[in-house]
A and B are shown apart, each in its own frame.
Chain A
Amino acid sequence: MSVKSTVPPAASPVRQMRYLKPFRQRVGEALSSYTARVLLQGLFTVFAVMTFTFFLVRLMPGNPVDIKIDQLMQTQGLTYEQARSQAAGLFDMDLNAPVGQQYLTYVQRVLRGDLGKSILSAGTPVADIIWRFLPWTLFSVGLGLLVSFALGVLIGAAMAYWRGGILDNVMTAVASILYSIPEYIIALLIILVAGVQLQLFQVGELRGGFNPDVAPGFTLEFIGSILKHATLPVITYVLATIGGWILAMKSSTISTLGEDYITVAKARGLSERRVLTAYVGRNALLPLVTRLSVSIGLVVGGSVIVEELFQYPGLGRQLLRAINGRDYTVMQGIFLIIAISVVASTIIADLMLGWLDPRVRVGQKATKG
């Protein structure tokens, strides 16, 4: 009953070749068709978003010059003439050129990797602004998403496992309520109730990404300060999104628990841990992966209102500033980055789903008998 005796010896080399060939084919096919197709689709999406934002921002009422003139008149008390001449000197972009020509120049620059310069903060490259504020957003929103997803999945799975128990009943209500409150309301509640009424923290102190009195550097104090300042936005993101994860994971786990292969796994005498991880968990997670990818893509854009409310120095707040000041180039830059990250995370989610679920793996043909 040895392994060899089950197969006629002559067949072995053929078998080996049959093993290798599909693998090589798979790699070839994936490279030639699927990956290429996905990348092309992605590029097209990014290009389309780039084009639309270019024209859409210019369709907004007003333009950067008028806004700047308004600002100068209000803040510095200048007359219209004075403000106009001062404002004109600030802009190095020819806003009077035909829009088509501006668009071509813009595309050429982007292709060279140049996102242009900010209109409002004259001379500052858009790329610099993005690099300066993006890490804060990535850190706070990313951490929020991670915590929310991990906690939500665990709680949701536990609720499904002990369905009808206290945890399930309480958390279903809590999750539904949290799920239905917009994040800016949560942020306001935190500031007003915890900060102003209960005085649990000083709202003013927690502005910005870190305490300016602490010297930036790789020190425990500085890192602590960063974490402290990120706490409130992160709590807001977690509270605002965890309800969705809990409810999604709960329903997904309940339907997975009802599958025949779970009963079979138990009947096979597998340990409870193995059943819960490889059999229940992995299958229940599949529907959440797609959802996660959309959320990851939106991390970059940050949360405009929450960052504004907590005065957190992220990209979302910069976007709001750019929109208010009609800073075309900064808006274009940030929207472009958001588009790229959404596309990229969708591709990553595709690959991840293929890794978790062999049924959607690409370039592999099912052999139905």
Chain B
Amino acid sequence: MPNDVVVSVRDLSVSYLARRGRVRAVNRASFDLHAGETLALIGESGCGKSTLNLALIRQLPKNATIDSGSILYTRRDKSVVDVLKLNKAELRRFLWSEFAMVFQGALNSLNPVIRVSDMVYDTAAAHGLNKAAAEKRALHLFEKVRLDPYRVFRAYPHELSGGMRQRVLLAMSLLLQPQVVIMDEPTTAVDILTQRSILDVLQTLREELNFSVIFISHDLAVAAEIADTIATMYAGDIVEVGPVNEVFYRPRHAYTLALLNAAPRLSAGAEELYSIPGSPPDLIHPPPGCKFHPRCTFATEVCRTVLPPLVAAEAGHQVACHHTDDVVTAYRKVSRA
């Protein structure tokens, strides 16, 4: 297993400089992404999911800085690249050919004044791929994502529907056969049927082309369906990482448990929806100890003072919580009821 790690992130911290002070948006994040693996990052809005991913491709806004940590990327030929040490030109070549991204705002991710074909050619030209080869590959991919390849290739973005644009982006992200594709909430802006078809397409493509995915979502159902590994983020910290069944059926962090409880269930009927009390903490002055303690039902004195470290539990599970056992017991009770 350790040999097929594609991306290895260690102690990555990112902060934004705001008028009130420094916002630590990602705090010492560490994780490994294996070949062919899909890692889903879940958490509330503003927990640092998107920032973490922008940091991975070094496209953070100007007021953000990477304070510490390393991002190591292993190429197909097993050579290792330190992403944070690439210079501008190297980074430009590296992006998209190794590390592609499907962005959150699908509807707005295509340049409105040029054709899809021009965007394909632009991408190809930037990476030394000739036009004919790029066109052939794009048409092939468009068909794979169930689009009418010729029509879409010649189309302007405004001539395509939201779902079509999302699939165009998905196809474009695979144009240069990257090993890793980051998907930032690719299904939030589209309706449920389109979401279904995009997820199906993604599954098929993944089986065929065998790339790794970092999937950002706050939709737990989607994450459960698509991911192999789940990482829960809270206030910039990765608080729990583990295989999808472990995390969803045996959550060990109080926050993951709260998230799972907050997810609406069709079978819930008239039962009241649960929501996590309070709101995410101020990241300029984060609470001492465990950042989740002010909202946590399990919180005790130790949570208010000592920051729990991310430690390994059984079955590849890692968790940063003082009350792991209580959480597990509580979940059993909830699920049995």
Contacts and interface: CB of A to CB of B under 8 A. Distances in A.
B158 A366 contact: yes
B161 A7 contact: no
B59 A263 contact: yes
Interface stretch (A92-100, A128-136, A277-285): A277-285
Which size bracket describes the interface of B in this complex? 35 or more
A47 interface: no
Contact of A6 (B59, B91, B101, B140): B140
A20 interface: no
A264 B103 contact: yes
Contacts of A264: 101, 103, 109-110, 169
Contacts of A359: 112-113, 156, 158
B282 interface: no
Interface in B135-157: 135-137, 139-140, 143, 149-150, 155-156
Contacts of B95: 266-269
Given A268-B96, A274-B126, A278-B122, A261 B109 contact: yes
A356 interface: yes
A267 B140 contact: no
Contact of B96 (A7, A261, A269, A278): A269
A107 to B, nearest CB: 44
Interface in B93-136: 93-97, 100-101, 103-105, 108-115, 118, 122-123, 125-127, 135-136
A269 B92 contact: yes
A7 B149 contact: yes
B164 interface: yes
B80 interface: no
A271 B103 CA distance: 19
Given A283-B111, A356-B113, A369-B164, A260 B105 contact: yes
A368 B155 CA distance: 12
A368 B161 contact: yes
A278 B127 CA distance: 17
Interface in A313-369: 356-359, 366-369
B160 A369 contact: yes
Interface in B155-172: 155-156, 158-161, 163-164, 169, 172
Given A260-B105, A357-B112, A369-B164, A268 B123 contact: yes
A114 interface: no
B136 A260 contact: no
B122 A6 contact: no
A263 B105 CA distance: 11
Contacts of A265: 111, 122
B149 A267 contact: no
A347 to B, nearest CB: 21
Nearest to A360: B158
Contacts of B101: 264, 267
Nearest to B137: A1
Given A266-B59, A358-B113, A259 B159 contact: no
Nearest to A274: B122
B105 A267 contact: no
Interface string A222-250: 00000000000000000000000000000
A2 interface: yes
A356 B156 CA distance: 12
B320 interface: no
Contacts of B92: 269-271
Instruction: Name, among A266, A269, A278, A369, the residue most crowded by chain B CB atoms within 10 Å (CB to CB).
Output: A269
B25 interface: no
A163 B323 CA distance: 48
Nearest to A16: B150
Instruction: Name, among B92, B111, B127, the residue most crowded by chain A CB atoms within 10 Å (CB to CB).
Output: B111
A286 B111 CA distance: 13
Nearest to B94: A269
A278 B135 CA distance: 20
B102 to A, nearest CB: 9
Contact of A269 (B108, B112, B126, B164): B126
Nearest to A12: B150
Nearest to A278: B114
Contacts of A366: 158-159
A271 to B, nearest CB: 6
Instruction: Name, among A1, A259, A282, A358, the residue most crowded by chain B CB atoms within 10 Å (CB to CB).
Output: A358
27 contacts: A1-B140, A2-B136, A3-B135, A3-B136, A3-B139, A7-B150, A15-B150, A259-B108, A260-B109, A261-B111, A263-B103, A264-B103, A265-B111, A267-B96, A267-B103, A268-B95, A268-B122, A269-B94, A282-B114, A283-B112, A286-B113, A357-B113, A358-B113, A359-B113, A359-B156, A366-B158, A368-B161
**9 closest residue pairs by CB, A with B:** A369-B161, A260-B105, A260-B108, A269-B95, A358-B156, A269-B92, A269-B96, A264-B109, A261-B111
Interface of A: 1-3, 6-7, 15, 259-261, 263-271, 274, 278-279, 282-283, 286, 356-359, 366-369
